[in-house]
Amino acid sequence: MKIDYMKVLVFLVVFAYSVCGDEAPIFPAVITFGDSALDVGNNNHRHTTFKANYAPYGTDFITHKPTGRFCNGKLVIDILTDIMGFHAYPPPYLSPQASGKNLLLGASFASAAAGYDHDAAVHKQAIPLSGQLEYFKEYKSKLNELVGGNKSEYIVKEALYVLSAGTADFLQNYYLSSSLKKAYTPDQYASFLASSFSNFVKELYGLGARRIGVTSLPPLGCLPAAIDLFRSHEKGCVISINKGAQNFNDKINSSAASLRKQFPDLKITVLDIFNPLLEIVQSPSKHGFVEARKGCCGAGSVKTNRYLCKPGREGICSNADEYVFWDTVHLSEATNQLLADAVLFQGLSLV
């Protein structure tokens, strides 16, 4: 994983000025949409099996308690929010913390198991992207009541928006659904999802967003869940699933370019996490890891949730920092730190 440290340095200098100078952080708020990569607790308030409100989740977080984050510690967005100079994290919108002055930090509308496929998200009792936008409209109204029209409009316009989706669409939906595979080829389904992505961004733009970072799909075929579910006789990652993820990433890059032409004042960047994570998985020892094929925690059952950690501390590795993956789908905090470093300068165009 090659990082242009000069660009990272420039980015850090920009943020250091905003933090250490007389001004507030360069973005007035951070607002997130999507799936479990950005869910910081919304699913705690949903009737769904896709929850991280129990130990061992949160073992290495600041509070050493589960918060709803699908990780042993911080997510990539937490690390980036730290760097940007925020002294607290934007709250999950469905939590009691999403009120009063906390709304000035922004909010997370993300919901684990959500994606670009509306029906699949609803089936898993996640908040679909359309529902997340409805909550965002509520947020705007509350913000307006809190600080008035001019300031709320400024916050909405200048905030940083981050979107992460697509993993559940493929790994927990398409590849496990015989009916979907009959209805769509992988390329056709990717086109369907890319169209949904484009429509979501257009609606978000219509609600005032102007600075949007969207994460690419990771190398899905390298996730422990994919290896366990779909590998036949091949070693390493599931190549066909990785190719499908790359194909989707190409489509949203093309869509983002089209959106920039359609809306000249829209700053939108696709943040590549596919290649940095693929290099980590292929050369784990180079980055300080000893295990890149299994999660640190013991996986749950089909009856509970085979993608997530089983409750309790039984079966947890002794050092999560040595594991690329925390559970069978989500990354450890140590990996999130490397990804945060990798995407840091990619977001420079959003400043």
Q: Which residues form the catalytic set?
A: 36, 327, 330
Q: Name 350's Cβ contacts closer than 8 Å, sequence gap at least 6.
A: 160, 211, 212, 213, 267, 269
Q: At what angle do helices 129-147 and 186-206 cross, to 10 degrees?
A: 20
Question: Do residues 207 and 264 make contact, with C-beta atoms less than 8 angstroms apart?
Answer: no
Residue whose C-alpha is closest to residue 218's, from 53, 351, 339: 339
Instruction: List Cα–Cα distances, 102 to 37, 118, 170, 222, 348, in angstroms.
Output: 21, 29, 34, 37, 26
Distance CA 124, CA 271 (A): 26
Give the number of C-alpha atoms closer than 13 A to the C-alpha of residue 80, restricted to the C-beta side.
29
- Is the bond into 56 cis (omega within 30 degrees of 0)? yes
What is the spatial order of strands in the sheet that 30-34 belongs to?
106-108, 30-34, 160-164, 211-215, 267-271
